[in-house]
Structure 1
Amino acid sequence: MRRLLTALPMLALALALGVAQAQAILAARVNGTGIPQEQVERSFEEELRQRKLNLLQIRNPERVKQMKRAVLDRLIEQELFWQQAQVAGMVASPQEVEQAFQSTLAQFKSQEAFERRLLVEGYTPASYRLLVKKQVSATKYANSVGARESAVSDQEVHQFYLENPEKFGRPRQVRAREIFIKVPPAASDAQRAASRSRAEQLLQAARAGEDFEQLARVHSEAPTRQWGGAMEPFARGQLAKPVEDAAFALAAGQVSAVVGTPQGFHILKVEGIDDEVIVSEEQARAPIRTYLEQRKANAAIEKEAQRLRGAGKVEILLPL
C-alpha cells in the first residue's frame, strides 16, 4: 500500500524540513529543493517506531541502507507531488490544512505537550502548518492521479473471483488437541511397542475422565504440549493421512484410538468442526472491486512518480 493514499502519519513532524534544519547537510535535491539528511534520519526513526523495531534487531547493515533509501525515495516522491500539486492547482485549502493539523494535535495529551514536541523538532505552529499544507497537497494530487486510473469493470471482478478460489473459500476444518508419543527413527520393535503401550495407557486415562489438556501438558512429546496439545485448525491434506482420517471420523468431544505413524503414536481429542465456507461471487464482488481499484490506483501513482522523476532533476547527494 502506498503511503500517499493513506492519512497523514501519526507524527508527521519527522517528515519535512524544519526551521532549525534549514542549513543542514542535504541528502537529496528535488528540482532545486533540498531534503536534509537529518530529515531522512528522523523519518527513518519514525519508520522504526511504527514497525516496532530498533536498530539492534536489524543486524544486516545492507538492510538498514535499503530501509533508509526507501525513506528517502518516499520523501523525494512527496516533494515531487507537492510541486506538481502547485502546478495543477491542487494546493490544500485552509480548511483541509486545519483539519489535518487538529488531527495530529488530538493525538497529544494537551496543547502544551504538542507545542513542546514541535519545539524539539524545530517547528512553530505556523511552520508546522506549512508542512501539513505540503503533505495534504501532495496526497491530494496523488489521489487524483490514482482516481483517474482506478476504474474496474465487472468482467475484471468476475475474472479475479474465478482465478483466486483460495481467497474465497475455506475447506472443512477440525480443531483438536493431541497427545503424541515419539518413536526414535532407528527404534527397535521393542522400543516401538513400549511407546505404543505408553500411548495406550494415556488413552485409557483420557477415556476414564482425566483432563486431556493436562495429560498433554505433562506427557505429550509434541511442541503443542505447551498449549495443552492444542493444534492449529487443519483441513484434509495438511497432516499424515492416518491422523486426518481419525480426526475427521470423530464428532466434537470425542477421543480417537491410538493412531500410529512412522514418527510415533497420536491420540486426538476433537474440540470442534468448522464446516466448509464458500464466499459467493455476489458476496465477494464489493471487496474485490475495492482491492482492484486500489491496486490500479497504486500502479498509476507509481507511474506518475517515475514520470516526474524523469521529467525533473532529482539529485542524490549522499550515499545511503
Structure 2
Amino acid sequence: MVAVDRGRYTCVVDSSDVTAMRARELGRKSVVVGDRVSLVGDTSGVPGALARIVRISERTSVLRRTADDDDSTPEGRLERVVVANADQLVIVSSLADPPPRTGFIDRCLVAAYDADIEPLLCLTKADLATPDGVLDYYAELDLRHVLCRPDASLDDLLGTLTDRISVLVGHSGVGKSTLVNRIVPDADRAVGVVSAIGKGRHTSSSAVALRLPADEPSWIIDTPGYGASASPTSPRTACCTASPTWSRGPSTARPTASTPAPRRTARWTPGSPRGTPTRAGSSRTAGCWPPGILRPPHSLRCASRCRPRAT
C-alpha cells in the first residue's frame, strides 16, 4: 500500500495503481503505507474501479509517532503506526536554517534500533555549515551519514537507497520534500520555506511511498514533517512506553520506568497571577511529562527536579 487519502487506499498491483477501501471485517485495525495487503473485487485499476482490502500481512517493522494533542486519553497521548515494513530509516536534518536538533535525532535512533531498522543520517544544506559538530556528537555510534548540497549530485544518497524500502523523517523545513523531488522528479511534493524564527511549515500532510526510477525493488516513503508535539517513538522501549519519573538527586539522575504518571494538564490555582498557569503532575514525585514522549517540551518541564535536556 503506497498512499492513503480520506479513507481510500492506493495499492500497487503488477505496476498498476489500484484504489481500495478497507473491508469491514478488519475492524479497527489500521492500514498504513508500506503494508502488504490482500485485495478482492475490481483490481483492474481503471478509473472508478474500487477493490477491498481483506487481509494485512504480518509486519516486519513499524514506525510510530505520538498522536496530536486532541487524540489524548486519560492515560496519555496515543501512538499511531505511520509506516510498516521499512528496511531503513533516513533521518533528515539540516546543518543550518534550521539548525540540527540532536534530541530529535536521538529519538529517531531509539525507534530505529528498537524496530531493527538500519538508521542513516542525511545532513542537508551542507553548503551553509560544516557537519563536524553533529558527527562528533555521534562518533561513538559509528552512524552512517551522507551530506547533501543543492549544487551537488545525490549519488552517495542514491547508493544507500538501492534495494531498500527507506523512510524519510525530519522536522519541517530541513529540505526533506526537496530531496524527494530530486530523487523522484515525478513526485511533485510541495516545498515550503523556513520562517524568520528558523521553523519550517508543514508541506507534506500524509505519508506516501514512491518507487525510485529504473530501480524496481527500491522505494522511499516521505512522511509529514515532525513538530515538537509529535515525534517518532519506539513501542517496546521502557523510556517510550512508561511515563518516566525523575529520581531525586543531582543532575546526573536518569529516568526510571515506574507506574504511569497522570496525564499532565494545565489548571489555575487561586491567587495565581493571571497568565501564570500551574500544571498538574509538576510535584517532585510525580511524572514530568505524558506517556509516549522521550523528552518534555520546554513548556512542560518541571522546574524543580527535571534535568535540562538538549533540544
- Would you say same fold, with TM above 0.5? no
TM range (shorter): under 0.3
Q: Higher strand fraction: Structure 1 or Structure 2? A: 2
TM (norm. structure 1) is: 0.22
Q: Higher helix fraction: Structure 1 or Structure 2? A: 1
TM (norm. structure 2) is: 0.22
